[in-house]
Amino acid sequence: MAKEILTKIKLQVKGGQANPAPPVGPALGQAGLNIQEFCTRFNAASKDKMGQVVPVEITVYKDRSYTFVMKEPPASELLKQVAGIQKGSGKALTEKIGSITRAQLREAAQKKLPDLNTKNIEAAMKILEGTARQMGLEIK
């Protein structure tokens, strides 16, 4: 028989840098989980993504046990990495802050593909292209 799910918690934490401070501590504390144990397990699992923002989905069961699934960094984070910028444009329509090539867009789309609702790389590129446009990036 499957365990009964109590709740699901979604967080975005920097890889290898989870600590009991907000947002991790309060979210897990409300669910009655051992915060330090989660931080240790998460940091060990995400040490290869050190410093990157890593979305994590934590499934909490009735017996206070839990499992977590790490996802790929958000599309905007991948695009910022590829373009070498700190943040997106505040006025994306009028202020362009950089540009990326189609090859760079394809590389970012391949990384993000497991989390998207498509298996087609061309469709994934269109999804990320829209995100890039909203950030003020040009695709060449």
Domain boundaries, the chain: 5-70, 75-139
Same fold, 5-70 and 75-139: no
* CATH 3.30.1550.10 fits domain 5-70: yes
pTM: 0.75
> CB 105: neighbour CB atoms within 10 A?
22
pLDDT for residue 78: 84
Cβ–Cβ < 8 Å for 33, 66: yes
In tens digits, the chain (140 residues) has pLDDT values of 578 888 898 988 888 888 888 888 888 888 888 888 888 898 888 888 887 888 999 998 888 888 889 888 888 888 888 877 877 777 767 778 878 888 888 888 888 888 888 888 888 888 888 888 888 888 88
CA angle (119 as vertex; 82, 138 as ends), nearest 5: 30
The values of phi and psi at residue 72, to 5°, are: -75, 155
Cβ–Cβ < 8 Å for 118, 75: no
The values of phi and psi at residue 22, to 5°, are: -55, 145
Dihedral Cα 81, 84, 131, 105, nearest 10 deg: -70
Architecture of domain 75-139: Orthogonal Bundle (1.10)
